[in-house]
């Protein structure tokens, strides 16, 4: 009988922290899982540590050569027998109730295909918080990965049905790349609890290859933007991130560009599938109101914004009368 959960644990020269990681998995209160351990050609004593365990849930895979993390992860996706796939890294720790809480959540939310948790940093006990709701997680893709990779819990059927895998083209940002592709087929969630304790150290890939990770992330983000109909030459990553983080200066040029951004997204079939039309309209209203309310100096050119019905609606909701706006533009009114 197949286990309910398949845990994918890649190992490469992880002897320093490996025992703590494996112990945390074998101590889970939810016990119906297989632990797929992939030693990817380690040259330290990682393999001898793995061999000290005799738990029947462990499935060992040993490679004499280093194939790389992406190859190992994809092998795990293919060989997973469970209804769900859980991820863990060999230098992190899962709290005892992690699998139980993620399993219960996924069972009660069949439309959710990927569920993560919050993190707590081991070196300083600080939490790392990401949004919990699907709509917020979708916009988070413009900022970074909405999930802590070692905390994710995936619905295996979605991975196999849509033939999804980690891409070598997105090396060191392969998780981000897979998550946005998966999100077209399901809802997403993060639990509010920090159920994984995350270790930061110089030897981990995200630390040793931070420049490459940034480059790969931006490349995948541009791919995502292209899929949802956004041209990077027209809407730069910096512009979108500034708008969404409310750091964009409120002036005619930026307001016009923001209006065009949402108009473009709303006419893209892929974007409306990904975000949902109602959520797109809510997001547009949210940011337009902010831009209207934070204009520091009204310019004569701003009057042209009144040609746009969305802008006029943002004025109305913000409590700014059309005639007042026109007068302020004519006299070059400064608000600060």
Report pLDDT digits (tens) over 24-48: 999 999 999 999 999 999 999 999 9
Alpha carbon distance 127, 255 (integer Å): 35
Beta strands in 15-73 (DSSP E): 33-40, 58-63
Tell me, what CATH number does 194's domain have? 3.90.550.10
Question: Which DSSP helix (H) or strand (E) runs through 128?
Answer: strand 127-128
What mean pLDDT value characterizes the chain?
A: 94
Per-residue pLDDT of 101-120, as tens digits, reads 999 999 999 999 999 999 99
Residue 140's closest CA among 176, 93, 116? Answer: 176
Q: Per DSSP, which regions of 140-234 are E strands?
A: 153-155, 187-198
Residue 219 lies in a domain: no
Where does a domain end: 147, 178, 210? Answer: 210
Residue 180 has pLDDT above 70, yes or no: yes
Q: What is the pLDDT of residue 23?
A: 98
Establish if 9 belongs to a structural domain: yes
SS3 of 262-294: HHHHHCCHHHHHHHCHHHHHHHHHHHHHHHHHC
335 pLDDT band, cuts 50/70/90, is confident
Q: Is residue 175 part of a domain?
A: yes
Q: Are residues 268 and 175 in the same domain?
A: no
Residues 6+ apart with CB under 8 A from 300: 329, 330, 332
Q: Which domain holds residue 11?
A: 5-210
Number of residues that this document lists for the chain: 336
Please indicate, yes or no, whether residues 18 and 122 belong to a single structural domain of this protein. Answer: yes
Structure-model confidence comparison of residues 201 and 187, the more confident one: 187
Residues 105, 174 share a domain: yes
Per-residue pLDDT tens over the stretch 13-22: 999 999 999 9
Which pLDDT band holds residue 212 (cuts at 50, 70, 90)? confident
Q: Is residue 276 part of a domain?
A: yes
Same domain, 10 and 157: yes
Q: State how many domains the chain has.
A: 2
Note whether 25 and 90 are same-domain residues.
Answer: yes
Tell me whether residue 54 is in a domain. yes
Residue by residue, DSSP assigns 190-217 as EEEEEEEEE---TTSHHHHTHHHHHHHH
Are 144 and 189 contained in the same domain?
A: yes
Report the 10 Å Cβ neighbour count for 236: 14
Residue 61, in any domain of the structure: yes
206 and 235 together in one domain: no
* Within a domain: 218: no
Query: Do 189 and 49 share a domain, yes or no?
Result: yes
C-beta separation of 191 from 117 below 8 A: yes
217/112 Cα distance (integer angstroms): 24
52 and 106 in a single domain? The answer is yes
Pair (149, 199) in one structural domain? yes
Residues 275 and 160 placed together within one structural domain of the fold: no
User: Is residue 207 scored above 60 in pLDDT?
Assistant: no
Asked if residue 336 is part of any domain, the answer here is no
What is the rounded CA–CA span in Å between residue 44 and residue 41?
Answer: 9
Q: Which of 189-193, 242-246, 315-319 has the least mean pLDDT?
A: 315-319
Q: What is the pLDDT of residue 203?
A: 64
Same domain, 268 and 147: no
Domain-terminating residue out of 210, 242, 257: 210
Smallest Cα–Cα separation from 260: which of 295, 299, 234? 234
Q: Which residue, among 17, 31, 16, 18, has the nearest Cα to 7 in the 3D structure?
A: 31
pTM value is 0.92
Give the pLDDT score at 277: 95
- Name the helix (H) or strand (E) containing 77: helix 69-79
**In angstroms, rounded to a whole number, what is the distance separating the alpha carbons of residues 229 and 256?**
18
């Amino acid at each position: 009988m197949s286990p309910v959960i398949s845990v994918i644990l890649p190992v490469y020269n992880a002897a320093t922290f490996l025992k703590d990681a494996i112990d945390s998995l074998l101590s889970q209160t939810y016990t119906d899982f297989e632990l797929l351990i992939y030693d990817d050609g380690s040259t330290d004593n990682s393999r001898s540590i793995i061999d000290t365990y005799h738990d029947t849930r462990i499935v060992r895979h040993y490679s004499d050569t280093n194939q790389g993390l992406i190859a190992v992860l994809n092998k795990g996706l293919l060989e997973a027998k469970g209804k769900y796939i859980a991820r863990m890294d060999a230098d992190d720790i899962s709290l005892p109730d992690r699998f139980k809480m993620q399993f219960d959540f996924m069972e009660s939310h069949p439309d959710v295909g990927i569920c993560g948790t919050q993190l707590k940093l081991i070196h300083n006990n600080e939490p790392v918080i990401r949004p919990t709701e699907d709509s917020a997680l979708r916009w988070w893709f413009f900022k970074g990965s909405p999930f802590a990779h070692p905390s994710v819990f995936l619905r295996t059927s979605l991975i196999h049905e849509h033939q999804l895998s980690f891409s070598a083209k997105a090396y060191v940002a392969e998780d981000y790349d897979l998550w946005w592709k998966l999100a077209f087929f399901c809802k997403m969630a993060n639990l509010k609890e920090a159920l994984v304790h995350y270790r930061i150290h110089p030897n981990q890939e995200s630390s040793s290859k931070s420049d490459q990770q940034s480059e790969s992330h931006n490349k995948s983000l541009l791919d995502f933007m292209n899929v949802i109909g956004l041209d990077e030459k027209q809407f730069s990553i910096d512009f979108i991130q500034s708008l969404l983080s409310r750091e964009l200066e409120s002036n005619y040029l930026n307001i016009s560009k923001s209006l065009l951004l949402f108009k473009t997204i709303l006419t893209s079939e892929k974007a409306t599938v990904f975000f949902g039309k109602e959520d797109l309209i809510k997001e547009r209203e949210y940011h337009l109101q902010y831009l209207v309310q934070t204009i520091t100096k009204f310019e004569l050119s701003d009057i042209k914004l009144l040609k746009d019905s969305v802008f006029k609606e943002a004025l109305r909701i913000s409590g700014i009368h059309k005639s007042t706006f026109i007068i302020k533009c004519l006299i070059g009114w400064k608000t600060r």
